[in-house]
Chains A and B, each alone.
Chain A
Amino acid sequence: MSPPTAAHPMAVRRRRNRLTWLPALAIIAVGVAIWQVYATKSGINAHVLPSPVRVAESGWAARDALWTNTIPTLKETTLGFCLATLAGFALSVGIDASRILRNAVMPLLIGSQTLPLVAIAPLVIIWFGFGLTPKILLVALLSFFPITIGFLEGYQATDPDVERLLVSMGAGRSRVFRTARLPTAMPFFFAGLRIAITYSVVVAIFAEYAGATSGLGVYMQQAQNVYRTDLVFAAVLLTSFLTIALFAATYLLERVMIPWYRLSRQTQRR
């Protein structure tokens, strides 16, 4: 009774390309070089366009101030994100369970994404003060949408055969949800998370512009007011790094939470 054999499945070939960063670094290096040459050779005023070397030097000199202003921005972003994920998940569960709720809530959700940040940010600050709360709310408001949609699309992607099978085993609705629909949705959730995270830092900074006591937005504003363009640039660079780091963190989280997903994609690509 020897069953048919197959090649050992664990032999997933790993094709690690360590040079994936190289093209990105090269493009940045070329850009910075051109910028440096232009800023120093064209005679342009350093208040209008500081050279990258100058940005780096001033940024390094002001590192303490930059760092103390990064912390509130990072806090606003991550807390806003946690809130967005919780709200997005709760909404998606409700919408998935009830057609009435879907019909009632979906237009509101889409409507919420049309609110112009320029108009809404000062209002939220008036309502909730100059502390962290209004920024967290604004980040959450603008990032919960892709997360909710990610979950909803993911639930829809569930294999109907799997659902029928679970029902034939005696599973109820919540069991089917936990065992099939939610795990199916996880990769979609991470896709939504990544979309949201690319603009969440910018939203936090904009919210700070509208009124705050500390944060990178406040810092940029103050630097601009005294024509320290070099420090504005330094803060902008820091913002980019922050966003890239958070973006990378979603992959890390994905690897921890749904390790099977990366493995399955690697296997399929063989």
Chain B
Amino acid sequence: MTALPPVTAERADGKPPRLQLEGVRHAYGQLQVLDGVSLHLSEGELVTILGPSGCGKSTIFSILTGAVCQNSGDVLIDDAPLGPRTERFAVMPQTDALLPWRRVIDNVTLGLEVQGLSRRAARARAQPLLATFGLEDFARAYPFQLSGGMRQRAALLRTVVQDRSVLLLDEPFGALDALTRTDMQTWLESVWDTFRWSVLLITHDIREAVFLSDRIYVLSPRPARVVAEITVQLTRPRRMDQMSSPVFVRAETQLREVLFDTRVQGDHPDPLPSR
């Protein structure tokens, strides 16, 4: 097994992390899913949780959004314990979950409307962002009239416009074809570079993780622990040609080795899919 680098809660500049998980454990009945997961996310950082499917990545998000309460361990946001329904997170689920009866603009403002904003005020907040997300000509279209990439961009806009502390992206491009996915990854990197949201990303795509992240946590198969933490030493903005650079390739190789090592040693070498 790869040696664990010490997980430092404090950053070099001494600022407390935006989000911190300390020894979070959770079981669904007899099934131990999280076995002491510790990780942290700083302001304006893009951190990825990488792990085999069914390892409990999505359970972490469920705990953060309050859908599930962990058995033990602490979740701190801005150094304060996470209460129930604190609504500090905006989630982008695996499926885009766009409502087919709402036009794009009304899908995008959904979170704001749930927060209690009037339709007019919500639209005013979302309108300026439509162009950045390539949706300005499609605000009045229905989701079924959009391509897969556009649907995903609409879903991301719906997430960021809520203006929450942390964005949780759960395999956002998992349902897309390979070409569109690459397109979307480069596009996401460029908008993230502009806005610098604090993002926690779940994926099982190693290349996506390296290309997008500042840091990567690798989880073991169920019950999940952090088995490695890797800082990606690539300059921003990232470009496609960096994918063949030695730094990129080294990170990719390292991650693949960790993932396959733990798969062989894990209690569940062939984990069940999460749903």
Pair B183/A161 contact, Cβ less than 8 Å? no
User: How near does chain A come to B96, taking the closest CB pair, in angstroms?
Assistant: 9
| Interface size bracket, A side | 20 to 34
Which of B66, B94, B100 is the one whose CB lies under 8 Å from A260?
Answer: B100
1/0 contact string of B93-115 vs chain A (CB within 8 Å): 11101011100000000110011
Which of B91, B97, B141 is the one whose CB lies under 8 Å from A9?
Answer: B141
Pair B100/A9 contact, Cβ less than 8 Å? no
Within 8 Å of chain A (Cβ to Cβ): is B150? Answer: yes
Pair A258/B101 contact, Cβ less than 8 Å? yes
Within 8 Å of chain A (Cβ to Cβ): is B211? Answer: no
Within 8 Å of chain A (Cβ to Cβ): is B242? Answer: no
User: How near does chain B come to A184, taking the closest CB pair, in angstroms?
Assistant: 8
Question: Which residue of the partner chain B has the closest CB to A261?
Answer: B101
Q: Assess A162 versus B153: contact at CB under 8 Å? Given A170-B114, A179-B114.
A: no
User: How near does chain B come to A176, taking the closest CB pair, in angstroms?
Assistant: 9
Chain-B contact segment, one of A76-84, A120-128, A217-225, A262-270: A262-270
Tell me the complex Cα distance, A167–B146, Å. Answer: 25
Within 8 Å of chain A (Cβ to Cβ): is B53? Answer: no
Residues of A within 8 A of B97 (CB): 159, 161-162, 165
| Interface size bracket, B side | 35 or more
Residues of B within 8 A of A175 (CB): 114
User: How near does chain A come to B229, taking the closest CB pair, in angstroms?
Assistant: 26
User: How near does chain A come to B81, taking the closest CB pair, in angstroms?
Assistant: 19
Within 8 Å of chain B (Cβ to Cβ): is A180? Answer: yes
Question: Which residue of the partner chain A has the closest CB to B85?
Answer: A170
Question: Which residue of the partner chain A has the closest CB to B96?
Answer: A161
Which of A1, A5, A267, A268 is the one whose CB lies under 8 Å from B191?
Answer: A1
Interface residues of A (CB under 8 A from B): 1-10, 12, 159, 161-162, 164-171, 175, 179-180, 183, 186, 258, 260-261, 263-264, 267-268
The 10 A-B pairs of least Cβ separation, nearest first, read A3-B134, A9-B145, A6-B147, A4-B183, A169-B114, A168-B65, A161-B97, A264-B144, A168-B91, A169-B111
Interface residues of B (CB under 8 A from A): 65-67, 85, 87, 89-91, 93-95, 97, 99-101, 110-111, 114-115, 132-134, 137-138, 141-142, 144-147, 149-150, 153, 162, 180, 183-184, 187, 190-191, 194
